[in-house]
């Protein structure tokens, strides 16, 4: 549980002249769950996307297993196979069935054996109760089902880290609970290393080993999960938690 | 209307009919290939090649096929490049059609949401894999209405081949009118021949559009 997988040092990110991330520093150990909290527009999703190479950064460095990432398209392409990402809007490929969505990257990108991957994929889909929908198209699924497929699609790549970007934000409360259970199981049972952006404070308090609280692209607080919710350090964090009815 | 004239002209029209289909088919397939290459290089902004493709698309779309054919058939021999009328016709059709197809595909490719591209990137796809598994299949579905219009347009454009004496349908009809002064019969045959080619093509493409939109690989 102590091996450091991801480390970010003095990261700055700009959109043209506007700085959206200021001197971001943190590290993530194997099996740890880091939760990014903060108001809308604070830079949580931007930070998450930066960690997957979907956004570039101006200053600072990101290390993966102690090795500094060279932010070239080729290196990100390799790293993304180890750093899985799930988006708020699911982003399944609409022209492919559930099983095709899950198999595409492991078979075509990682060049793994299709039969083996299919066996694993069906097992994963069974765990999220979607094995009856192998040949369904995304448009035939509910939001919660789509999000479960998106999680399985990312897991089928056997990532070392999962980045979850507000994955319950588009779902109704009943579906939210189902997705949260899957993520909690991933953490507690499979010890998956994760960085999670969420506005669900109860979920965050149950799952977070560490919390980064961001505002206007600055880290205002970096504390262990339990401390963050029980003893917030700053007045701003207290106000934020109050506003979230936590 | 003299039906015996129509009967006598049938073998000539049948030959012209086959030639028109053959030239259209090669022209359309070539145009689609050129269009895909041109639009993908523009979509992925491949340096130099994308600029060359943009210049090609603008040049081809902004000059009439008639002038392009004259250039290929009459001007190229001056610099030592001699080609048969059929080859000039096919090159001209692909040159023009490729640009229109490129615009059609570009419209479709640009219609794919950024989140779909990011989704592919997040799965570790290379540029080629993104093009092959995300951009092309989804973009093709979106660009099909434009491609349908282009295919019909290109088939009709083969009528301009008559100016460089390719014995396709229009050239054959004009020749026969010039020889026998029976325009009603030959023009009727011409209209029917184009309808026989175009109506099944339109029906097939309309079916394909519906299938892409609502069917197995639709959005």
Query: Which domains can be identified in chain B, with CATH numbers?
Result: 1-215 (1.10.3720.10)
Q: How confident is the model at residue B209 (pLDDT cuts 50, 70, 90)?
A: confident
Query: Would you tell me how many other CB atoms lie within 10 Å of the CB of residue B198?
Result: 15
Q: Do B118 and A91 touch (CB under 8 A)?
A: yes
Probe site for chain A from B46, B111, B119 (most A CB atoms < 10 A) = B119
Q: Do A94 and B218 touch (CB under 8 A)?
A: yes
Q: Which tens digits make up the pLDDT trace of A119-149?
A: 999 999 998 899 999 999 999 999 999 999 9
Probe site for chain B from A75, A90, A95 (most B CB atoms < 10 A) = A95
Q: Do A80 and B121 touch (CB under 8 A)?
A: yes
Beta strand ranges found along A87-215 (DSSP E):
161-165, 193-197, 210-215
Q: For residue B156, is pLDDT > 90?
A: yes
Closest Cα in chain B to A83? B122
Those residues of chain B whose CB sits closer than 8 Å to some CB in chain A are 115-116, 118-127, 129, 133-134, 137-138, 141, 216-219
> Are A99 and A135 contacting, i.e. CB atoms less than 8 angstroms apart?
yes
Closest Cα in chain A to B133? A104
Q: Do B133 and A104 touch (CB under 8 A)?
A: yes
Q: How confident is the model at residue B188 (pLDDT cuts 50, 70, 90)?
A: very high
Q: What is the predicted ipTM?
A: 0.90
Residue among A195, A200, A211 at smallest CA distance from A171: A200
The shortest CB-CB distance from A77 to any of B126, B138, B141 is to: B126
Q: Which tens digits make up the pLDDT trace of B37-89?
A: 999 999 989 999 999 999 999 999 999 999 999 999 999 999 999 999 999 99
Paired with B2 in beta bridges are: none
Q: Do A54 and B123 touch (CB under 8 A)?
A: no
> How far is the C-alpha of A108 from the C-alpha of A102, rounded, in Å?
11
Per-residue pLDDT, averaged over B136-149, amounts to 91
Q: Do B125 and A77 touch (CB under 8 A)?
A: yes
Probe site for chain A from B116, B124, B134, B136 (most A CB atoms < 10 A) = B124
The shortest CB-CB distance from A109 to any of B125, B138, B217 is to: B125
> Are A38 and A201 contacting, i.e. CB atoms less than 8 angstroms apart?
no
Q: How confident is the model at residue B218 (pLDDT cuts 50, 70, 90)?
A: very low
| Mean of pLDDT over chain B | 92
Measured CA to CA in angstroms, residue A76 lies from A50, A80, A87 at distances of 10, 6, 18
Q: Do A93 and B138 touch (CB under 8 A)?
A: yes
| CB-CB neighbors (< 8 A) of B217 in chain A | 95
What pLDDT is recorded for position B216? Answer: 45
Q: Do A87 and B122 touch (CB under 8 A)?
A: yes
- B124-150 b/e (C-beta count within 10 Å ≥ 16 → b): bbbeebbbebbbbbbbbbbbbbbbbeb
Paired with A63 in beta bridges are: A7, A68
Kindly state the tokens that stand for B180: 């026998």
What pLDDT is recorded for position A244? Answer: 82
Report CA torsion sign: A182, A188, A193, A196.
positive
The shortest CB-CB distance from B129 to any of A87, A108, A153 is to: A108
Closest Cα in chain A to B135? A93
Q: How confident is the model at residue B214 (pLDDT cuts 50, 70, 90)?
A: low
What pLDDT is recorded for position B215? Answer: 45
Tally helices (H) and strands (E) across chain B.
9, 0
For chain A, residues with pLDDT lower than 50 are none
Per-residue pLDDT, averaged over B162-177, amounts to 93
């Amino acid at each position: 549980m102590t091996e450091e997988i991801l480390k970010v040092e003095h990261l700055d990110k700009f959109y043209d002249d506007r700085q959206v991330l200021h001197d971001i520093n943190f590290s993530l150990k194997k099996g740890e769950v880091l939760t990014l909290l903060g108001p809308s527009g604070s830079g949580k999703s931007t930070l998450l996307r930066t960690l997957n190479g979907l956004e570039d950064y101006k200053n600072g460095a990101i290390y993966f297993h102690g090795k500094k990432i060279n932010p070239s398209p080729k290196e990100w392409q390799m790293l993304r196979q180890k750093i899985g990402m799930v988006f708020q809007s699911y982003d399944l490929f609409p022209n492919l069935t559930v099983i095709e969505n899950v198999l595409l990257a492991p078979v075509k990108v990682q060049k793994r054996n299709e039969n083996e991957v299919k066996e694993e994929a069906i097992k994963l889909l069974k765990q999220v109760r979607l094995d009856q929908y192998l040949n369904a198209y995304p448009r035939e699924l509910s939001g919660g089902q789509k999000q479960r497929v998106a999680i399985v699609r990312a897991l089928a790549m056997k990532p070392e880290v999962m980045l979850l970007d507000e994955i319950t934000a588009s779902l109704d409360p009943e579906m939210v609970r189902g997705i949260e259970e899957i993520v909690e199981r991933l953490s507690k049972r499979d010890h998956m290393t994760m960085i999670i952006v969420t506005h669900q404070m109860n979920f965050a308090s149950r799952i977070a080993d560490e919390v980064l609280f961001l505002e206007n692209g600055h880290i205002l607080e970096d504390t262990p999960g339990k401390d963050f919710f029980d003893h917030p350090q700053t007045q701003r964090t207290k106000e934020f938690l109050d506003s979230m009815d936590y | 209307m003299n039906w015996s004239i129509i009967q006598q002209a049938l073998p000539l029209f049948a030959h012209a009919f086959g030639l028109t289909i053959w030239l259209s088919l090669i022209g359309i397939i070539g145009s689609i290939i050129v269009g895909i290459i041109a639009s993908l290089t523009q979509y992925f902004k491949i340096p130099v090649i994308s600029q060359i493709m943009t210049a090609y698309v603008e040049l081809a779309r902004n000059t009439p096929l008639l002038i392009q054919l004259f250039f290929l058939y009459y001007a190229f021999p001056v610099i030592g490049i001699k080609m048969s009328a059929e080859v000039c016709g096919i090159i001209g059709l692909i040159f023009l059609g490729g640009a229109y197809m490129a615009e059609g595909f570009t419209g479709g490719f640009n219609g794919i949401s950024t989140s779909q591209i990011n989704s592919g990137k997040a799965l570790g796809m290379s540029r080629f894999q993104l093009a092959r598994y995300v951009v092309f299949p989804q973009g093709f579905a979106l660009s099909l209405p434009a491609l349908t219009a282009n295919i019909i347009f290109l088939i009709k454009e083969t009528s301009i081949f008559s100016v460089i004496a390719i014995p396709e349908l229009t050239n054959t009809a004009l020749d026969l009118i010039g020889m026998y002064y029976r325009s009603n019969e030959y023009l009727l045959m011409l209209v029917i021949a184009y309808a026989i080619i175009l109506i099944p093509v339109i029906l097939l493409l309309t079916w394909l559009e519906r299938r892409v939109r609502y069917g197995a690989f639709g959005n």
